[in-house]
Structure 1
Amino acid sequence: MKITSIEIKQYLKPLEPPFKAAWDPQPRKNFASTVVYVHTDEGITGVGSGDLLMGLEGHENLFIGHDPFAIERHAQVIDNINFHYGRCWPLDLALWDLMGKATGQPVYKLLGGKSNKILAYASTGEIVTPEERAERALRFVDQGFKAMKIRFHHEDVKDDIKVVEAVRKAVGDKLEIMVDANQGWKMPWDVECTWDLKMAFQVAKELEQLNVFWLEEPLPSHQFELMAKLRDMAGIRIAGGEMNRNWYDFREMNKVNALDVYQPDVALSGGITQVKKIAELVQGSGAWFSPHTWSNGIGLLANLHLAAAVSHCPYLEFPYDPPAWSTDRRDYIQKEHLMIDSEGYLVAPEKPGLGIELDEEALKKYEINHFYVGESSTVIV
């Protein structure tokens, strides 16, 4: 088997009403998805998505003509592209999808098959009043969730803590609560100061009193030694690493025991190939691996396969904050929208590959760009 062509298609779904993401100053009026299709001479196509694939166009020929099962070789090339241009890790996801289809196995079995399911925590994205967040939390309980995550982004962190207090009062011990401080990285326009170690510790102490399961991204993502100090000082778990895009960041974090929970996302930070190695590294040192999954439904699905296969952590992130962030919006290019079962588990599909079923009507409706490279032709539509 060899790769004969690679297609990149872009889709854009208007959002009305807009999604008011906590980390954005302006509401999001559209949601973009970039999908990569890897075709082979045996008629099998692998599909991946979850990032913009900036930098892949012009480098597709580095893969065409090669065996798709040469995954370590391909991961090295994608890592080289990552250094020079941008994150193209959805191509790695497409290759794993292809390998699963070629062998007739779901990807989680190819990765180790520890389990086919994992408890999901509802990961919220909006800043709303304490009362509204408490009401949404109670709906999560009714749906079967066992945990949720609350975003911090008020000007005064005391207002963020009031939200956690309201949720804890409303749900009691029916939900574990995670908190995302969103201090690890910045959007391009953000020039405000991030928390320092003392602020992060003060917040951690407050959250410990509210029995918070973990505090995520409380410090900038490059401050490995300060994260380690915070981890030693705090009485709750410290999580992070969702946007550290290089594998060696995780090697250095692991050396200093920076985190209790490591969160590399296969769509953003190394693909399934490299993130599996990171998971094995940190879990071998006694930490947890629980990937970030805020891309789209395909990115979530890929992270699910890896987490179910290898993770020791009891929970996986499930981006979900209806009505503003619903499965219809997150998974709009997919025929089947991902949802937990009645017991709160997210179950990996048993279909070969990642188990992606694309919605052809949605693809036709929302497609905005198409780039194709084959063995003897290049076409831009």
Structure 2
Amino acid sequence: MKITGIEISHYLLPLDPPFKAAWDPQPRKKFATTIVAVHTDEGLTGIGSGDLMTGFAGHEHLFIGQDPFAIERHWQVIDNIDFHYGRCWPLDLALWDLIGKATGQPVYKLLGARNSKILAYASTGEIVEPEVRAERAQMLVEQGFKAMKIRFHHDDPRKDIKVVEAVRKAVGDKLHIMVDANQGWKMPWDVQPCWDLKLALQVAKELEQLNVFWLEEPLPHHDFRGLAKLRELVEIRIAGGEMNRKWHDFREMSVLGALDVYQPDVALAGGITQVKKVADMVQANGAWFSPHTWSNGIGLLANLHLAAAVSHCPYLEYPYDPPAWTPERRDFVQAVKVEVDKDGYLVIPDKPGLGIELDLAALERFKYDRVYVGESS
């Protein structure tokens, strides 16, 4: 089998009403999705998604004519492109989808098949009033969720803590509660200072009293020593690493004991090929692996395959905050949306590859750009 072409298509879904992401001071009026398709001479096509593939143009010839199973070779090329031009990790996902289809196996079975399902935690995205978040938390319990994540981003963290207090009062011990401080990285236009260690420690101590399951990104993603110090000083689990892109970042974090929960996203930071190695390393050192999944439904599926295959962590992130963020918005290019079952589990599709089913009508309606490169182009 040989790669004969790579197709990159871009889609844009209008959001009305807008999605007010906690980590972005600008309300989002549109949601972009990029799909990468890897075609072969045997008629099989692998699908990936999750990032814009900026910087890939002009490098297609490095893959065309190659055996798609040469995944370590392809990963090295993508990593080189990442260093020089930008993130193109959806191509790694498409290659794994293709390998699964060629072997007739779901990707999670090729990676280890530790489990075929994993509990989801509802990862909320907006800042809302305490009583609203408490009401929504009760709805999550009714839907079968066993855990949820609350976003922080008020100027005064005491206002954020009030939200956690309201949720805990409303649901009792029916939900594990995670908190995302959103201090690890910033949007280009966000110039407000991040928390320092002392403020992160004060907040963590308050959250301990509310029995919070983990505190995510309480410090900048490069402050490995600060994270390690914070972890030593508190009982609450410390999570992070979603935007750390390089193997050596995770090696140093693991050596320093910076985190209890490591969250690299296969769609954004190394693909399935690298992130599996990170998961194996951090888990060997006693930590959990539970990837970030906020790209789209295809990125969620790819992270689900890896997490179910290898993770010791009881939960996987499920981006969900209705009515603002729903499977219909998140998975708008997919015919079958990624849903949680009545018991709160994400069950892996038992189909070859990643189990992606595209919505052809949606692709036609929302497409705004397409690039195809093959042997005849």
1:6-85 equivalent positions in 2, closer than 5 A: 6-85=6-85
- Name the structure 1 match of 2:274: 274
Secondary structure (helix, strand or coil) at the match of 2:182 reads: coil
CA distance in 2, matches of 1:26, 1:260: 31
Counterpart residue type for residue 173 of structure 1: D
CA distance in 2, matches of 1:225, 1:194: 16
Instruction: Tell me how far 1:376 sits from its aligned partner.
Output: 2.7
Instruction: Tell me how far 1:341 sits from its aligned partner.
Output: 0.8
1:97-116 equivalent positions in 2, closer than 5 A: 97-116=97-116
1:201-280 equivalent positions in 2, closer than 5 A: 201-280=201-280
Counterpart residue type for residue 369 of structure 2: N
Instruction: Tell me how far 1:248 sits from its aligned partner.
Output: 1.2
CA distance in 1, matches of 2:192, 2:203: 18
Q: Report the count of equivalent residues.
A: 377
Secondary structure (helix, strand or coil) at the match of 1:58 reads: coil
- Name the structure 2 match of 1:129: 129
Instruction: Tell me how far 1:213 sits from its aligned partner.
Output: 0.1
- Name the structure 2 match of 1:196: 196
Unaligned runs of 5+ in 2: none
Instruction: Tell me how far 1:167 sits from its aligned partner.
Output: 0.2
Secondary structure (helix, strand or coil) at the match of 1:184 reads: coil
In the alignment, does 2:166 pair up with 1:166? yes
Instruction: Tell me how far 1:170 sits from its aligned partner.
Output: 0.2
Counterpart residue type for residue 357 of structure 2: E
CA distance in 2, matches of 1:191, 1:80: 30
Instruction: Tell me how far 1:192 sits from its aligned partner.
Output: 1.0
- Name the structure 1 match of 2:290: 290
- Name the structure 1 match of 2:155: 155
CA distance in 2, matches of 1:217, 1:126: 17
Q: CA RMSD in A?
A: 0.5
Deviations 1:350-370 (A, max 9, x none): 000000000000000000000
> Which 4+ residue blocks in structure 1 deviate beyond 6 angstroms?
none
- Name the structure 2 match of 1:312: 312
Counterpart residue type for residue 374 of structure 1: G
In the alignment, does 2:119 pair up with 1:119? yes
Counterpart residue type for residue 283 of structure 1: Q
CA distance in 2, matches of 1:138, 1:9: 39
CA distance in 1, matches of 2:131, 2:79: 45
Instruction: Tell me how far 1:148 sits from its aligned partner.
Output: 0.1
CA distance in 2, matches of 1:350, 1:58: 36
Q: Is the CA contact (8 Å cut-off) linking 1:247 and 1:269 kept in structure 2?
A: no
Counterpart residue type for residue 135 of structure 1: E
User: TM-score, structure 1 length as denominator?
Assistant: 0.99
* Percentage of matched positions with identical amino acids: 77
CA distance in 2, matches of 1:188, 1:245: 18
Counterpart residue type for residue 260 of structure 2: D
CA distance in 1, matches of 2:272, 2:25: 32
Instruction: Tell me how far 1:91 sits from its aligned partner.
Output: 0.2
CA distance in 2, matches of 1:248, 1:93: 21
Counterpart residue type for residue 5 of structure 1: G
CA distance in 2, matches of 1:191, 1:324: 26
Instruction: Tell me how far 1:273 sits from its aligned partner.
Output: 0.3
CA distance in 1, matches of 2:191, 2:365: 38
Q: Is the CA contact (8 Å cut-off) linking 2:25 and 2:190 kept in structure 1?
A: no
CA distance in 2, matches of 1:6, 1:115: 32
CA distance in 2, matches of 1:252, 1:54: 28
Q: Is the CA contact (8 Å cut-off) linking 2:219 and 2:227 kept in structure 1?
A: yes
Q: Is the CA contact (8 Å cut-off) linking 1:44 and 1:101 kept in structure 2?
A: yes
In the alignment, does 2:347 pair up with 1:325? no
CA distance in 1, matches of 2:222, 2:297: 28
Instruction: Tell me how far 1:291 sits from its aligned partner.
Output: 0.1
Instruction: Tell me how far 1:26 sits from its aligned partner.
Output: 1.4
Counterpart residue type for residue 214 of structure 1: W
User: TM-score, structure 2 length as denominator?
Assistant: 1.00
